[in-house]
Amino acid sequence: NKPSGVAVHGGSGVSHGVIEQVRAARPQAKFLELVHRLDRETSGILLLAKKRAALVAMHEQIRHGRVDKRYLALVHGPWTHRRQHVKLPLFKYATPDGERRVRVQSDGQPAHTIFNLLRKYGDFVLLEAELKTGRTHQIRVHLAASGFPIAGDEKYGDFAFNRQLQKIEPGRGALKRMFLHAWRLRFEHPASGEEVSIESTMPEACERFLDSLQAPRHTH
């Protein structure tokens, strides 16, 4: 259950990510690999394989779309659709200082996300994102390109709005992280073939922010 702000592996200015930390904590484990990745700012369920056979089987399931990955994302603005398919091709590139970025581009890789409306909190909307493909930064770029950047997203978000969010204001608390959380993962167990369903509750910082939005607003 990865916290926000922790990289999944070393590199790009990070010496130790989740995979290096887990290997260091379990020196007796012969094999430990990430099955998939989460962005550093994203929290939630991260799957690791303890055997090569399990890794290969999981990658096979992911390739054939048999892994059901769901995320919670908070956006700001007049979102109206109960269920919306976003199919925008994504192109990976590097900024001059070597940072990995993604943009919507016609010759990019096909990418498909389904967004389900869960609840409205005043001007904010809580969405569930269902990944049909697993491209880098897919949910973040699909939402930003649709005009609804994720609250607190420092790469693809609304920077002035994010700065505002970091301060407590009347009618809401402060949000000091990106509101994107991998909350549910369903797959077939690579050894037994049984369905496995894992859920991760919403992190306290996100929960607190939503609670602050529900608080009655004082009118003078």
Q: Give the residue numbers marked as catalytic.
A: 39
**C-alpha closest to that of 170 among 200, 131, 213:** 213
The C-alpha angle with vertex 70 and arms to 44 and 126, in degrees rounded to 5, equals 90
Task: Specify the residue for token string 């096909």.
Answer: 110
Q: Which pairs from 183-186 meet CB under 8 Å and 24+ separation?
A: 183/44, 183/45, 183/70, 183/71, 183/72, 183/128, 184/45, 184/68, 184/69, 184/70, 185/45, 185/47, 185/67, 185/68, 185/69, 185/70, 186/67, 186/68
